[in-house]
Every structure is written in C-alpha cells, then in structure tokens.
C-alpha cells in the first residue's frame, strides 16, 4: 500500500548557479558516496540536479521536509542498471517508521533544463540489505543501515563481563605484530576481556606493546614458535574463552598443524580462523566435523591453497568457490579483497566499504580481531562476519581520508576502528 508520495522539480540552471557561487554547496547537500558518483559522471549538472530533487521528494514522502532532517540523512545510490536506491539515516528512518513506510521507490528524469524526482513510500517490508546488480541479480550488499540496526547502544549498567572474553592464539618470533594487531583490534571494537596466548619468547614484547591485553605465555621451541609441548598448556586455558581467534603469525609446520587441528577438535565455541591457521589445515574434514561455528577469513591465495586450485581460478569464480567451501565444510567464509565476499552457506553478501590502501601487512589481523570481538559480545556469527568486514572497511576509509591510500598502515586502520563504530551510531 502507498503510504506517501512526493514530487520535486528543480531547474538545472539553478543548481549550476549554486555550484558556481559556492562549491561548498555540493559538500553541504551531498554525501561522500554521492560526490564520488558525480565524479564518475564528470560532475554532470543534470545528475546533480536529479539527486537534489530526489532528496526534496523523499523528504516530502517522510512528511518532514529538509529542515527537520538534514541533506546527509538521505543518500541516493544507483545500481549497475541505473536504478536509484534510497538510503536513510536513523533519524530519517524514524520519520519513515512513524508513517509505516518500509520502502521508498524512486524515479528520476531530467533533461537540459529540469530534473524531476518522484518518490513513493510503501508499507511493504524491505530487505535489510540494498540490492544491486554489480555482482549478481540476488547478492545483497552490507550497508550502513544494516550494521546500524545491529550495533545497538550499550546499557548504562554494563560491565566488562557483559562483553565477552576473546582468546587469541597467535604470533611467533618475527610475527609478534600479528598477535598485537589481533588483540588490540578486539579491544578497540568492544570486547570486555582479551587474552593473548602466545609463545613465551614474545611475551615480553606483547607486555610492552599493550597494557590492556592479558597475556598467557606458553612453552615454545628455541626459535619462538608454538610446539607440540604447547598444545596441552593451551588446551587447559581455552574453556574460559567465549570465542577464539586462531592463526595469525603462528607459522606452518607439523607442530603448528597439530595444534590447530586439536583446537578445532576440542574447542566447543566459535573459532575465527585466519592466516596460518588456515594454512595449517591439510584436510577440510576437520572443519566439517566441528559442531560449533567456524569463521574462516582467507585471502585468494589462502583459499587457493586450501582448495588445491590456482589463485586465478579463485579470482575468476569467487562465488563458486566460496559457496563450495562454506557448504562442504559447514563454515562461514569471508573471501578478503576488493568488495570482500561473505558466504554463510545459503546466502552471500558483498561489503560496501574499504579501499586499496588496506592491502597492507596486518590488515587481515585487524579484521580477525574485530570479528572475534563481536562474537564475544553476543552477536550471531553471521552478523559478526558481516558487521566485521563493514567496520573494518569503514575504518580503512577513514584512515585513507586522513593519510591517503599509499602511506596508510594496518595501525592506521586499527586506530580508526572506534571512530568507525562511533560514526555508525552517530544518529542515535
């Protein structure tokens, strides 16, 4: 049922004059994503006018007009077929909910002189995701609206015990940074308590680098790697963790393979398996036999090794191979890269945040820490996977905005994680 409609007509000459008078007009009215789209269209006045008219039309549908909500509370996007899609902030969504508007259809027409936007609000229940055709006809995108709907405000009477215990089994001599980044990302994304289980030889490094992490040094070999003597010691500690992040920087050999296999077999809660944790798996049956959820976060090279195919095969058939590993091994798969692909077995979701500057050492460790933290805080593994890649990418976008894509590091991503989460909730 139609719950409201709005039409707006704007002169393209009026928009052109407004831009020429003050270029800040564009930044005041349009969001970063919209401006990026304008750039792709060579700042077409017709396109800009169409978006301007759309925001006016949508505000009329909501019954509030521009004033009670701001220009940036409405974002217009286009899928590959050119269909305009409407994204609302929480503030604008509240107005929509007050009129029982669940979905807004938008059409835009324009010529040299005028742009016309027609918005229709319906009470049809929408998907949590915005759909487009960039990848397939049915694969949804992870959006700001979806993540905001999940990332609820914390209760005032909360304490650290409410936000879970993350156990991180990571690191070796030369790769203490992997353990550090994973642990620190878990802390910065809200975990109540973070424990770092690591080889004894790098314990002092971790103690010096972070004051918030509880370290559990275990027996290692002469080179500072986990060994077979580490296994029993680690297994005595894992039951107190709500989730385990396993693998960053541990290296690969028989001892490490035995360690990963035993933890996968014996731990009864969710495991986030990353990096060398994935490379230590010779038989995916060990994943398939787990009753608790497992989230794996391979990049194309790690997935290629796991499935015994080439990297090019992975890149050319991302959907096929992520579906294959998720369904066969009963895991949640995050194939990292441009527009990271999250596969939960029956459905796949594409991330909408991130940039090439995030292709840097340690970036994946930060992602692993975020996802483990969200699981520990009580989010479902499927939501934690989707939310984690979005928050990680948004933190990367914030880092790139400050430092550019060439010089940003994984620490820059890490430092922006709290700000990304604050930005997601900025309208609450």
**DSSP character at residue 28:** H
198 contacts 217 by C-beta, under 8 angstroms: yes
CA 194 – CA 292 distance, rounded (Å) = 20
- Which among 32, 33, 39, 60 is annotated as catalytic? 60
Q: Is 110 a catalytic residue?
A: yes
CB atoms within 10 A of CB 257: 15
C-alpha 233/C-alpha 47 separation (Å) is 63
* Angle subtended by helix axes 363-376 and 381-403, to nearest 10: 140
Q: CA-CA distance, 198 to 83, in Å (whole number)?
A: 51
Catalytic, out of 55, 72, 110, 299: 110
Using an 8 Å Cβ cutoff, are 179 and 168 in contact? yes
> Helices in 112-268 by DSSP H: which ranges?
144-150, 176-188, 203-209, 228-235, 254-266
Would residue 60 show up in a list of annotated catalytic residues for this protein?
yes
Element containing residue 272 per DSSP (H, E): strand 270-273
Q: What angle do CA 134, 140, 144 make, to 5 degrees?
A: 105
Q: Which residue in this structure is represented by tokens 């487009």?
A: 132
Cα–Cα distance, 52 to 39 (Å, whole number): 16
d(CA 344, CA 306): 18
- Tokens 């995030």, residue? 358
- By DSSP bridging, strand 348-351 and strand 140-142 are parallel
DSSP 193: E
* Helix (DSSP H) and strand (DSSP E) numbers for the chain: 19, 16
C-alpha to C-alpha distance for 237 and 335, rounded to whole angstroms: 30
Name beta bridge partners: 197.
169, 216
Burial class (CB in 10 A: 0-12, 13-18, 19+), 159: exposed
Q: Which residues are catalytic?
A: 60, 110
């Amino acid at each position: 049922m139609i719950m409201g409609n709005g039409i707006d007509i704007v002169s393209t000459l009026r928009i052109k004059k407004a831009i020429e008078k003050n270029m800040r007009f564009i930044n005041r009215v349009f969001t970063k994503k919209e401006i990026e789209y304008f750039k792709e269209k060579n700042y077409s006045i017709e396109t800009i006018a169409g978006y301007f008219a759309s925001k006016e039309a949508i505000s009329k549908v909501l019954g509030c007009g521009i004033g009670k909500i701001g220009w940036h509370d409405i974002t217009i996007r286009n899928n590959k077929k050119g269909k305009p899609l409407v994204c609302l902030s929480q503030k604008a969504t509240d107005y929509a909910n007050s009129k029982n508007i669940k979905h807004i259809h938008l059409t835009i027409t324009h010529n040299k002189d005028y742009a016309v936007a027609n918005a229709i609000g319906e009470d049809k229940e929408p998907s949590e995701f915005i759909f487009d055709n960039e990848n397939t006809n049915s694969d949804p995108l992870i959006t700001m609206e979806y993540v905001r709907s999940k990332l609820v405000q914390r209760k005032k009477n909360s304490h650290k015990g409410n936000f879970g215990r993350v156990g991180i089994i990571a690191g070796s001599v030369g790769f203490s940074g992997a353990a550090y980044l994973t642990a620190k990302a878990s802390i910065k994304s809200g975990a109540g308590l973070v424990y770092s289980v690591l080889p004894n030889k790098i314990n002092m490094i971790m103690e010096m680098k972070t004051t918030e992490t509880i370290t559990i040094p275990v027996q290692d070999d002469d080179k500072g790697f986990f060994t077979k003597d580490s296994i029993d010691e680690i297994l005595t500690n894992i039951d107190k963790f709500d989730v385990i992040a396993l693998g960053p920087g541990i290296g690969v050999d028989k001892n490490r393979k035995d360690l990963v296999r035993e933890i996968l077999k014996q731990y009864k809660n969710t495991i986030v398996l990353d990096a060398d944790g994935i490379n230590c798996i010779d038989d995916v049956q060990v994943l398939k036999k787990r009753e608790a959820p497992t989230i794996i976060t391979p990049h194309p090279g790690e997935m290629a090794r796991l499935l015994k195919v080439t990297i090019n095969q992975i890149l050319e058939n991302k959907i096929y191979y992520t579906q294959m590993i998720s369904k066969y091994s009963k895991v949640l798969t995050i194939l990292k890269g441009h527009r990271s692909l999250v596969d939960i077995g029956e459905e796949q979701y594409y991330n909408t945040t991130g940039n090439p500057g995030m292709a840097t050492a340690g970036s994946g460790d930060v992602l692993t820490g975020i996802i483990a933290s969200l699981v520990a805080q009580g989010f479902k593994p499927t939501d934690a996977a989707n939310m984690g890649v979005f928050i990680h990418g948004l933190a990367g976008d914030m880092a790139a905005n400050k430092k550019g894509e060439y010089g940003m590091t994984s620490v820059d991503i890490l430092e922006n994680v709290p700000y990304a989460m604050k930005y997601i909730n900025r309208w609450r």
